[in-house]
């Protein structure tokens, strides 16, 4: 009989999980590593979602969120663009928006913060919350 051990799917602390890296490298989501980048990205016309992955080593929901975000974007027919928040500004941005739990999706429209979806949710909850946030006036 062979023992089967599940591989560790988390990245070492401080490193990006491969599924988060995929968002940047394959899907072209910009990596925002300073608050100026955040201000510039969120000031653009339209709606925007910033993905705060959190520490994938300590938060096992991070890879799931990295898979869910592109699916939400597709479901909403690309009604918003996406970026990944770098570790160096993650804490500051979470404090600024009061969206303290990770992983988190922070929504903006032309610099105005609209709201957040924190932690992993049921699919119907993502749809309801995203609809509510995107229809907010900000």
Task: Output the pLDDT for position 137.
Answer: 67
pLDDT at 104 > cutoff 50: yes
State the pLDDT confidence band at 17, using cuts at 50, 70 and 90: very high
How open is the CA angle 103-108-112, to the nearest 5 degrees?
130
- In-domain check, residue 10: no
Burial class (CB in 10 A: 0-12, 13-18, 19+), 10: middle
Rounded to the nearest integer, the mean pLDDT of the chain is 90
Q: Give the pLDDT mean for 32-57.
A: 97
- In-domain check, residue 77: yes
For the stretch 70-85, pLDDT in tens is: 999 999 999 999 999 9
Structural contact between residues 54 and 62, judged by C-beta atoms closer than 8 angstroms: yes
Residue owning tokens 């009061």: 98
Q: For the chain, how many structural domains are there in total?
A: 1
81: β partners? 48
- In-domain check, residue 89: yes
CATH number at residue 77: 3.40.30.10
Answer left, alpha or beta for residue 47, where phi above 0 means left and psi between -120 and 50 means alpha. beta
- In-domain check, residue 7: no
Task: Output the pLDDT for position 136.
Answer: 79
**Structural domain of residue 117, as residue ranges?**
18-134
- In-domain check, residue 1: no
- In-domain check, residue 5: no
The pTM score is 0.88
**First and final C-alpha spacing in the chain:** 59
For the stretch 110-131, pLDDT in tens is: 999 999 999 999 999 999 999 9
Rounded distance between C-alpha atoms, residue 131 and residue 83, angstroms: 19
- In-domain check, residue 35: yes
């Amino acid at each position: 009989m062979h023992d089967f051990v599940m591989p560790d799917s988390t990245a070492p602390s401080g490193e990006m999980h491969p599924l988060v890296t995929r968002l940047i490298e394959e899907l072209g989501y910009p990596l925002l590593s300073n608050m100026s980048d955040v201000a510039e990205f969120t000031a653009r016309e339209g709606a925007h979602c910033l993905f705060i992955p959190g520490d994938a080593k300590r938060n096992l929901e991070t890879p799931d969120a990295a898979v869910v975000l592109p699916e939400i974007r597709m479901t909403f027919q690309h009604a918003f663009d996406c970026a990944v928040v770098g570790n160096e500004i993650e804490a500051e941005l979470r404090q600024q928006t009061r969206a303290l739990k990770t992983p988190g999706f922070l929504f903006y429209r032309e610099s105005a913060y609209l709201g957040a979806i924190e932690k992993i949710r049921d699919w119907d909850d993502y749809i309801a919350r995203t609809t509510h946030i995107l229809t907010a006036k900000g």
